Structure 1
Amino acid sequence: MRNFFLNSKKVAKDNDIVNDIDMSNIPKHIAIIMDGNGRWAKERKLPRALGHKAGVETIRNIVKACNNLGVHYLTLYAFSTENWKRPKEEVNSLMKLLVEYLKKEFEELNDNNVIINHIGDISKLPDVCQKELNDAYNNTKNNTGLVLNLALNYGGRDEIIKAFKDMYEDLQNRKLNKDSINSELIEKYLYTAGMPDPDIIIRPSGEQRLSNFLLWQCAYSEFWYSNINWPDFKKEDLIRAIYDYQKRERRFGDVK
């Protein structure tokens, strides 16, 4: 009985937050480090692959919630440049899940005006993954709703190195001169060119680090951490993160 009352109070509190959220101040760009799939599986004595599978359902719910809230960009850290160090069986499982997700969710995402984009060096992914990602983008690029960025074989340092190499090549070909190099120019060479920097970066699972994610773009992002593992992350948790974001004063180095 006591647990019932405690749960009732939590539901009431979550509903209050939903009602109090300022719909005129929704973050334009939300980035999420989807962490805790393995911990979720371990707690239940399940294979890690089932943790990743449970995490896919969370992706579906959070994408839908962001789209309904009017978020413009949602970037999900799905597979890092360091994740290749994981056991081959787990990597293969993740690649299979990616293909399954794109095939299963494409129609609904497209019907809801979502652009399915990717950032990172996908040339290292299996051919079938590359095809599904490219097809998904080409078939949704003219949509006008939420841009869903799937960060795959992505690393913040690799992204900056690639940008510098591309800039150097353009300097050699005299498409640029060194006096034109500034932060705005560098941003044009990043995977996120043309997108606003993340307003908030969310990381569930209790870890409190960036893990090589959006290193350039996060300069003035707000951070929100939670002990909830990704498969247990709900729309209400997203709402709470946005609510906390709205209570913060963003000064971007200025004084108010």
Structure 2
Amino acid sequence: MDKVAVVGCAQTKYEADKIDQTYSELVFEVVKKLHNELGITNDDVGCVITGSNDFNDGRTIANMAIQDAVGSVRKAESRVSGDGAFAFVYGAMRILSESYDTVMVVSHCKCSEVNQYLVNNTIFDPYYQRHLGLDQISSAGLMANMYMNKYGVTEEQAAKVVVKNRRNALNNPYAHLQEKITIDDVINSKMMAYPLKELDFPPFSDGAVAMLLAKEDVAKKMTETPIWLKGYGNCTDAYYLGNRNMTNL
């Protein structure tokens, strides 16, 4: 089995509201940047995998609206709904299947254009759980409360993770939030869903990213510093929350 490497990556700056750019413009920006940085053309891309969310994009089969921008016209193209990380794994699998030498993975979102609490409420069971008003905030609070009670995790310990992540973001020029915070800042921030506070959660962001994956011999020709994928995987839990072990993450 061949090895897979990341040979290039291009991102936008992640911001609260990119009001001056459409979805297609965000995508085209990163695809063009990726091509220019690697010195490639669209002919060097064997397959395109996109990751987006129909609810955020405001249309069904939303990837059809960015086909020109990603350069996938008359190419193999597939979309993973709502999960850029899974789109990345899917792209690697296409290379490992020996169907393609290169795969470009493109993901985008404009959270600013839709009420994210309403969007996230739609992922729940429409007969019972959706009517409870569950969204990513309230469900995360339920899980966190159960987890902290089971394993004895304290608020201070959880806050240290937030502080560490925000500190790391200071080294990322594309990060949405770039400010140093303390444990007290996290603990004293606004309560969202017990025991989680406002600073426990990431912001809603607008942005896009494009990555080019390649098999081993092609990757070595494209760059002197390929990033080899050592391992990746995914799993799926039960859809109904009552059938899940909420503390076994």
Per the normalisation by structure 2, the TM-score is: 0.30
Write 1 or 2 for the structure with the bigger share of helix: 1
Larger % of strand: which? 2
> Which gives a bigger RCO, structure 1 or 2 (Cα 8 Å, sep 6+)?
2
Q: TM-score, normalised by structure 1?
A: 0.29
